[in-house]
Amino acid sequence: MARLLAAVGLGETLEPVVATARYLQGGLGMPAELLHVVPSAYFEALARGGLARYLLHRGEVPVLLLPKALVGVKRIAVGLDDSPASLAAFRVAEAWGKALGAEVFGLHLVSGERGCCFPTYLDLNRLSLSQVPEAAKAHLEGLLKATGVVEVAPGERELDLLRLAQARGADLLVLGSKARSTWRHRLGRMVEVLVQESPLPLLVVPEAAVW
């Protein structure tokens, strides 16, 4: 049976994690267990280096990062591109949305060549600038096999996705991770930035995740 592991590192408060675990345990129908890292030589070094970052780089299970307690979800935003990791994140978000009674929608940024989100999957030589958003939306919704669920917006920096999610009233932001089970692979630039900056609860879903 799948379980929720509520992990708390050294020096962190229990309350947001416990409140969130109780809410998700009921909403997702999964038993929750609390793990509190205790002061040993190994776990102290691990926690100070970032327990969440360790789990993110393992790339084995979705990791929910909590800058604040998550005790009610009405709108779930998913940061999308055309990668398998992004599509996996959307599928997990759909499952959470169904279980929690929340609306799920995708957000996709389009930038210039020097920005965060240049649409390499489009043949821009055949498109005018005004045609790019609709072409991007059609491409992503074709991959998702869904319509009316993706919003495309201009954005040059990763934080533009966060601002868009906040403007759309998201309670939870979901991102796909390119991590594998090794420290040598990056998580992806969007994840790296928003893990540090997001005031929203952030669910990071590894590419191989199945929910």
CATH of the domain at 189: 3.40.50.620
pLDDT digits (tens, 9 = 90+) for 151-200: 999 999 999 999 999 999 999 999 999 865 444 446 788 998 998 899 99
182 CB burial (10 A radius; 0-12, 13-18, 19+): exposed
Is residue 163 in a domain?
yes
Is residue 49 in a domain?
yes
Is residue 184 in a domain?
yes
Range of the domain at 47: 4-206
Q: How high is the pLDDT of residue 146?
A: 87
Q: Report how far apart, in Å, the C-alpha atoms of 101 and of each of 27, 45, 88, 161, 175 are.
A: 9, 39, 20, 24, 20
A 10 A CB-CB count for 3 gives 10
Task: Read off the pTM.
Answer: 0.88
Number of domains in the chain: 1
- The single residue listed with the structure tokens 């952030």 is 202
Q: How high is the pLDDT of residue 178?
A: 80
Top-ranked range on mean pLDDT: pick from 20-34, 143-157, 171-185? 143-157
Which bin fits 50, alpha (ψ -120 to 50), beta or left (φ > 0)? left
Is residue 211 in a domain?
no
